[in-house]
Chains A and B, each alone.
Chain A
Amino acid sequence: QLQLQESGPGLVKPSETLSLTCTVSGGSISSSNYYWGWIRQQSPGKGLEWIGSIYYTGDTYYNPSLKSRVTISVDTSKNQFSLKLTSVTAADTAVYYCATPDASGNWFDPWGQGTLVTVSS
């Protein structure tokens, strides 16, 4: 059974780059037919925003609203995938979740526990 765990700095300065890693256990990140994704939630219990996903082939899919600032990549040697979001502002303060879309990239299951990232000087 797949388990995901986010890690990374909890505080990032405005204009800098937010970098998070998701460690996958219970399965290989290079297994075929797997997608890996990132979702954020800017207020507790409030709206969820899909950031992007990466397929096991390396193909990436990004939310157009963030596409110019986002990179998602996979590190098979560490069984991890990562998120980089450049030029952050206070609006990027959120809980960031990594999650696994199903084989067709539709629903997200399971999710990591989430990590709060605050953008502040």
Chain B
Amino acid sequence: DIQMTQSPSSLSASVGDRVTITCRASQSISRFLHWYQQKPGKAPKLLIYSASSLRTGVPSRFSGSGSGTDFTLTISSLQPEDFATYFCQQSYSIPATFGQGTNLEIK
């Protein structure tokens, strides 16, 4: 299985901050990397697919980049509704695997 490692595991930030979350794959996955946001008690929601494509309806303050083994999710200016847990997921090979999550908290 391809292991996905996110860093940091948790992050404290303030409204208006620029935040970057990193996801590293244990082997090259090209651009088969996707990002989700999950709020407590809710299902994950797709934010970014194929490393850098913004899902329709997702605010443009979210962006993704990377290829191969290293990927980043950036939130350009944190809004109150962005405090949540973020997961990356690879679909390069079966089984699809997820990162352990990054919990973004209010400072």
Contact = CB atoms under 8 A, between A and B. Distances in A.
Contact of A102 (B36, B38, B49, B85): B49
B100 to A, nearest CB: 5
B50 A47 contact: no
Contacts, number: 62
Contact of B50 (A99, A106, A109): A106
B45 A111 contact: yes
Interface in A22-63: 44-50, 61, 63
Interface residues of A, number: 24
Contacts of B36: 108
A117 to B, nearest CB: 15
A33 to B, nearest CB: 16
Given A63-B95, A106-B91, A97 B34 contact: no
Given A44-B40, A47-B100, A107 B95 contact: no
A41 to B, nearest CB: 9
B55 interface: yes
B12 to A, nearest CB: 16
Contact of B44 (A48, A64, A102, A106): A48
Given A46-B100, A50-B97, A106 B49 contact: yes
A105 B43 contact: no
Interface of B: 1, 32, 34, 36, 38, 40-46, 49-50, 55, 85, 87, 89, 91, 94-98, 100-101, 103
Interface of A: 44-50, 61, 63-65, 97, 99, 102, 105-114
Given A46-B100, A61-B94, A113-B43, 20 more contacts: A44-B40, A45-B38, A45-B85, A45-B103, A47-B98, A47-B101, A48-B89, A64-B1, A99-B43, A102-B49, A107-B34, A107-B46, A107-B89, A108-B34, A108-B36, A108-B46, A109-B46, A111-B44, A111-B45, A112-B43
Q: Which 4 A-B pairs have the closest CB atoms?
A: A111-B43, A109-B46, A106-B91, A107-B34
